[in-house]
Amino acid sequence: MMLRQTLPRNTRSQGLVRQMAVMAKSLKYTQYGEPQDVLHLVETQLADPKDKQVLVKILAAPINPADINTIQGKYPVKPKFPAVAGNECVAEVICVGDKVKGLQPGEHVVPLTTGLGTWTTHAVYNEDQLLAVSKNVGLAEAATITVNPCTAYRMLRDFVKLSPGDTVIQNGANSAVGQAVHQLCRAWNLRSVGIVRDRPEIGELKQQLECLGATVVLTEAEVRTTDLFKSGTLKKPKLAFNCVGGKSATEVTRHLDNGGIMVTYGGMSREPVTVATGPLIFKDIAFRGFWMTRWSKENYDAPERLQMFKELCELVEQRKFVAPPHEMVPLDKFKEAASAALTFKGFTGKKYILNMS
């Protein structure tokens, strides 16, 4: 986060507000379908920003699963056509309307609102839809900060009161959210147990997640027989995160402590969340759901939201939080990147980021 100073009114009137019309290249779609089929690179001339509007140059914008699902028409957020794809980005302020008081040309900003359409070289947004971030925050970290790190942050903060030394357990531990959970747990002195699918390069995967902050990484087979908690090596987890569902979620619930809570934020297996009867009755465990988009809408101006961004940015600047493994790709390679995002199955997964800087 960075402190901002408003430019003097007379300085604004000397040319910082006005800007030659900009030609934006945007990935637009007019119907639902596969990204490779329905996205088209379209040029649009943008007018100067007025009143509380801000003209920005997009520097980097990631391709998230939710972005793909939105284009396919499978996500709860339904855009109005024609729509520009993308929800996350980091951008540079080019010029501002004469009623903008909190942003200056040259600042880096990230979107506070979903559905703005960020897969574009330039855009005009409202001032209240943007948040300034320090230029010391790397492009990849800034471009990906508003979804996955925030999801991890809120799930760790909002469901169970955790103390240093407490344990959190999660499946899908190599996902972008999972990697964020490991890093936040390390920063907050929590123990993080991650569960992943077995694979040939499992040793490399475990090592990478442990470097991020995971205390222990188990395969789905190992978690069925582990004595980590019965032996007292680690405290029984009070909090669990599930992004898989099915049998994976069931196995996680068996390790929850009395009164523990499982938070589901995804369903990669497309199987329902099931629970063994014993833990449900005798441990009185509970189940909750979490959707970052809903939380952001309900807490748009809440102090807790700004504090969250402040803490996350500080961790990035302190090099205690890094972006997931990623690849920067040029905008004109969007079809290849979108296709790869749907099919890539590397041992940690890879996030593709459209590089427009």
Q: How far is CA 231 from the centre of its chain?
A: 35
Closest CA to 241 of 183, 288, 306: 288
Active-site option among 75, 153, 265, 300: 75
Q: Please, is 15 exposed, middle or buried when counting C-beta atoms within 10 Å of its C-beta (0-12, 13-18, 19+)?
A: exposed
**C-alpha to C-alpha distances, 191 to 104, 171, 217, 237, 304, nearest whole angstrom:** 41, 14, 11, 9, 24
Q: Is 75 a catalytic residue?
A: yes
Three-state DSSP class for 172?
Answer: coil
Pairing state of beta strands 22-29 and 261-264?
unpaired
SS (H, E, C) 189-226: CCEEEEEECCCCCHHHHHHHHHHHCCCEEEECCHHHHC
Closest CA to 280 of 250, 241, 242: 250
Query: Which residues carry out catalysis?
Result: 75
